[in-house]
Amino acid sequence: MRTLLQKSRLKTMPLLMAVFLPGLAYADGSAYGSANLRTSVKAINGVKFAKITGTVKDNAGVPLPGVLVKVKGGTLSAVTNVNGVYTLNLPVGNETLVFSYLGFKTKEVSASGQTNMTVVLEEEISKLDEVVVIGYGTVKKKDLTGAVASVKAEEIMRTPTSNVMDAMQSKVSGMEVMKSSGRAGSGVNVTVRGQRSLSGNSTPLYIIDGIPGDFSQLNPSDIETIDVAKDASATAIYGSAGANGVVFITTKKGKEGKTTVAFDSYFGYNGFPKYPHGLQGDAYINLKREAYRTQKGNYPEFMSEIFTNPDHLAAYEAGKWVDWVDLALKDGLQQNYSLSINGGTEKTTAYLSVNYNKEEGLVAKDDFSKYAVRGNIDHTISKAVKVGSNLQFTHSINNQGAQNIFGNALTYLPLGDAFNEDGTVKYIPVNSVVNPLSDQIANQYVNNTLNNYFAGNGFVDIKPIKGLSFRSILGATLGSGRTGKFFGPQSIANVEAGFSVPAAVIDNSRYVNYRWENILGYEFDINNDHKFNITGVTSWAKNQAESSFAGGSGFDLDSYSFYNLSAATSRQTIRSSYVGSQSLSYVARLNYNYKGKYLATFSNRWDGVSQLSKGSQWDVFPAAALAWRISEENFLKDVTAISNLKLRLGYGVTANAGIPAYSVQGGGFNAPQAVGFGDNKAPSFIINQAMANTALGWEKSYTSNLGVDAEFLKGLISLSVDAYNTDTKDILLNRTIPASLGGSWGSPFKMWQNLGETNNKGLEILLNTRNVNRKDFTWSTAVTFTTTKEKITKLPGGKDLISEGFFLGQPVGSFYDYKYLGIWQESEAAEAALYNSKPGGLKLATDGTFKPDGTHTYGTNDRQVLGSRVPSWTGGLQNNFIYKNWDVSIFVTARWGQMIASNLITRYNPLLNTGNSPDDLDYWTPENPGAYLPRPGLYSTTSGYIGFDALKYVDGSYFKIRNITLGYNLPQNVIKKIAMQKVRLYTTANNPFIFSKSKLLKYQDPEGNGSDNFPLTKQFVFGLNVTF
């Protein structure tokens, strides 16, 4: 039975397939809607033509518009109209027609002797013939031997965003995409199969149309597919660059046939974060009263006893309460407009897109704008030679609002006059208190960044003989950036630093990366049973980057901003830098296929990089993978319920040389003063800051992978399961070394070393189902599930590196601190005294040792590993519903078993002599013994609360409804009247609902990892997609 999914596709895209025509189709009168659509032909040299007319339908008998009908082996073709009718003139003697349509199996039919022919196309449910991008080539999904996951354009476009990887959250098992900031234009952190390096480098390699590139510069509307290679058998072909996984991004290309124009846009609101407010009114007074009672033994009689500053008391008596968080927050607008054109002839195809994106942040002066242009062109010179190029240019402008504005708004005294009578921000709202909004005062704070990005490459494809292919691709990426900052005397940064004069800085950077790759491939078979594909690659890359920095202070006019540094009268600073590196690689790969049952891939990469020490610059990275398509065996071939069953086994070696250039060399700086010898002074000298390591080598990861791919009921259910184990050795770390090896000036010694080992293992599951498959209604589901375990297995001397934050048997980035056990109760007063504490004080875990007098003083030996940000499991659940022209998608994600450090909790001010506290925190009193936070006023200073930071480590488990989209496709009979192919309206809510396991996170989004600045936002947008 034909599904509603296809029906919707047919109604909204009746002519879309016309752009795939190898030749141009013309109609008698109207281009569409006529049953007499035909290709213009004429007799040549006496060749006779026969006219044939017919209808193309699906299994349910519904006509299929937009089906490509082509003469086999020729160039003549036509496309069915809205009634599924085609008309074509066939050369006599060449009467085999090929019918192809998206979502259906291609069908060849002999038209010999026919004048009217109805053809039924069978729905293509199975995805086995889909092409997957791998390193330096492609392969059909059924022939894939490695762990590679694919995401199509329609899935990416379900999330309206300017960052393509933001749309990939929980779409691929084993890949984590996290957003930690709500600033306008903020990026995402992406990891594939966890953190395995101690240096913190976990960024995957991004290959954009065959060349490494920056995904953040792309317009999501330009994306065709994203393929994620996860196991070493798939990534080792990139050697030292593939250790953290490889993300292949394929952009849209021009298509042969009628020119198609597409317009995508959305507009909406960005804001509504989960974030607490500061205490106000009675809640604020009650906390001060409780602190007073704790210290004095009784509540105060007069307000002057808790407001010792008369101006603060006057503001209180006047009722001048200020909610600084409410004043700081605003809802920003976001808008996006994309226009693309694609089309071409039999020999030349082209694609061009332009994009404008604007996002306003949560505070004033926080916004991000991006302008992007992307284009490509392919031209076939002859049957053997094809050339083409890809170009991308992006210009972005980022204005960052006040730094730490939310932390300040949460903790500054909530009294005074926030604004002057003219509506401008008042610098001093009440005596001795600075307005946390003072960065919004004219000419007081500027943080402006401009970035330009250009990426271009050209290629030539040569196929001199059957099976032999050669591609040479030369590309360059150029980027430049300028960040200018100005801090006026009333800016928060200057106030907190104690500076009273304006300061400005300009930071300029520029980089250029070159890459030249040559790919030679040869395919052949023996008796059509043994199929071979041999690939050889050479890859050369050169990277150069330089920067310059200038700063000064003491400007006569704040209006200079950062544009007139020469006017600075003091604190002038100038510095510059340059780094460069090169790499050269050779690759060999063999793919073997025996009767479609037994598959094998063997590869080896020889990498050489300049940043490692001589003698260690070259190394070898082999990989191998085997696959067995069990479903092709005779004992399963007749089991119709199993469409595909494949077992995969892979092993490979990858590496990481991602350290700064010149790391094998020592470094230093000029000391600011000379050494004195009596009345004589020695000249300034160099102090080594970076120690040389001439034995620095590769960090290597050894990964094994076992996977199963299965499809059931002709693709109605598909399942992929992968289990992996990765051992990483000789890990690179810029380690702090003892000062006893020499002096330092202002910072400790550092040396890059190979030390330590880690282990990562995990299980990944991807399940796709089509639950309901009816004529007017379909329901499909996609589930991802990942569970991982990470640990450090070896460190120097077999001991924890506490100063570096690395612990044996624990994941990288574990939390190490005092462990919070609760609050001492009044019934425990005697026991609390043994720990130099009191009822209402923090109860902490200890190492179990006591002094001879039976007491214990909390100290550093009591600290322990508390947990880490590594979750026990993560998952995603996508449900798609289609009813006639309506569609609904609901996407849920979860991250469970992680710990986060919530800085908002430690914004609690138990003294409240000045400032404020969040309004959602519950503190201990004799009348409220079950509270989480210690008693206010228990000590005269905050430092008296030993282990106060232990309060912030909480269970960060959560699940959230990531995305809800409601869409409507205009009916075909409507869009025909306005000469459109497709018109879709939709509305989307991003991040609308969040459910945290810990009640302490009720005003936080745990995805932000406990940050108390620029919380994550919600978005509500309305969009329009038009194709004509």
Identify whether the C-beta of residue 644 lies closer than 8 Å to the C-beta of residue 631: yes
Comparison of pLDDT for 665 and 649, the residue scoring more: 649
DSSP secondary structure of 623-658? EEEEEEEGGGSHHHHT-TTEEEEEEEEEEEEEEE--
Task: Specify the pLDDT at position 129.
Answer: 67
DSSP secondary structure of 447-476? EEEEEEEEEEEEEEEE--STTEEEEEEEEE
Task: Specify the pLDDT at position 3.
Answer: 40
pLDDT of 919 higher than 70 = yes
pLDDT of 581 higher than 80 = yes
Task: Specify the pLDDT at position 886.
Answer: 95
pTM, to two decimals:
0.85
Q: In the predicted model, what is the mean pLDDT of residues 780-805?
A: 94
pLDDT of 741 higher than 70 = no
Task: Specify the pLDDT at position 204.
Answer: 93
Placement of tokens 């205009």 in the chain:
970
**55's tokens:** 């209808």
pLDDT tens for residues 305-317?
Answer: 999 999 999 999 9
Picking from 588, 584, 556, the residue whose alpha carbon sits closest to that of residue 569 is 556
Task: Specify the pLDDT at position 46.
Answer: 57
Q: In the predicted model, what is the mean pLDDT of residues 579-597?
A: 95
Task: Specify the pLDDT at position 753.
Answer: 86
For the four alpha carbons of 916, 918, 924 and 926, in that order, the dihedral sign comes to: positive
Q: What percent of the chain has pLDDT over 90?
A: 63
**CA–CA dist 62, 717 (Å, integer):** 25
**91's tokens:** 């050369």
Picking from 322, 326, 497, the residue whose alpha carbon sits closest to that of residue 405 is 326
Going by the DSSP 8-state scheme, the letter that residue 426 receives in this structure is P
Phi, psi of 906 (to 5 degrees): -80, 5
Phi, psi of 509 (to 5 degrees): -140, 155
pLDDT tens for residues 963-1010?
Answer: 999 999 998 888 878 888 889 999 999 999 999 999 999 999 999 888
How would you class 519 by CB atoms within 10 Å of its CB: exposed for 0-12, middle for 13-18, buried for 19 or more? Answer: buried
pLDDT of 880 higher than 90 = yes
Report residue 753 CA to chain centroid gap: 30
Confidence class for position 302, pLDDT limits 50, 70, 90? very high
Task: Specify the pLDDT at position 1014.
Answer: 87
pLDDT of 1027 higher than 60 = yes
Across the chain, mean pLDDT equals 87
Provide the H-helix boundaries in 90-243.
153-156, 232-235
Task: Specify the pLDDT at position 11.
Answer: 37
Q: What angle do CA 545, 546, 550 make, to 5 degrees?
A: 150
pLDDT of 36 higher than 50 = no
Task: Please list, in sequence order, all residues whose beta carbon lies within 8 angstroms of the beta carbon of residue 34, skipping any fewer than 6 positions away.
Answer: 27, 28, 81
Task: Please list, in sequence order, all residues whose beta carbon lies within 8 angstroms of the beta carbon of residue 628, skipping any fewer than 6 positions away.
Answer: 597, 598, 599, 646, 647
**CA–CA dist 404, 853 (Å, integer):** 46
Q: In the predicted model, what is the mean pLDDT of residues 489-507?
A: 89
Relative to beta strand 899-901, strand 953-955 is antiparallel
Which of 16-30, 207-221, 224-238, 245-259 is least confident?
Answer: 16-30
Which of 38-47, 421-430, 594-603 is least confident?
Answer: 38-47
In three state form, how does the secondary structure of 756-785 look? CEEEEEEEEEEEEEEEEECCCEEEEEEEEE
**CA–CA dist 999, 63 (Å, integer):** 56
Q: What's the Rg (C-alpha) of the chain?
A: 33
Task: Specify the pLDDT at position 740.
Answer: 62
Q: In the predicted model, what is the mean pLDDT of residues 630-645?
A: 91
Domains of the chain with CATH codes: 4-120 (2.60.40.1120), 131-254 (2.170.130.10), 819-862 (no CATH)
- Number of CB atoms found within 10 A of residue 402's CB: 24
For the four alpha carbons of 820, 822, 826 and 830, in that order, the dihedral sign comes to: negative
Q: In the predicted model, what is the mean pLDDT of residues 622-632?
A: 95
Going by the DSSP 8-state scheme, the letter that residue 819 receives in this structure is P
pLDDT of 539 higher than 90 = yes
pLDDT tens for residues 823-865?
Answer: 999 999 999 999 999 999 999 999 999 999 999 999 999 999 9
pLDDT of 408 higher than 60 = yes
Task: Specify the pLDDT at position 15.
Answer: 32
pLDDT of 26 higher than 60 = no
Picking from 427, 545, 8, 21, the residue whose alpha carbon sits closest to that of residue 260 is 21
Confidence class for position 500, pLDDT limits 50, 70, 90? confident
Confidence class for position 670, pLDDT limits 50, 70, 90? low
Identify whether the C-beta of residue 170 lies closer than 8 Å to the C-beta of residue 209: no
Q: Is 918 helix (H, G, I), strand (E, B) or coil?
A: strand
Relative to beta strand 757-773, strand 175-178 is unpaired
Picking from 748, 739, 750, the residue whose alpha carbon sits closest to that of residue 659 is 750
Placement of tokens 């379909």 in the chain:
778
pLDDT tens for residues 92-105?
Answer: 766 788 888 866 78
Task: Specify the pLDDT at position 126.
Answer: 54
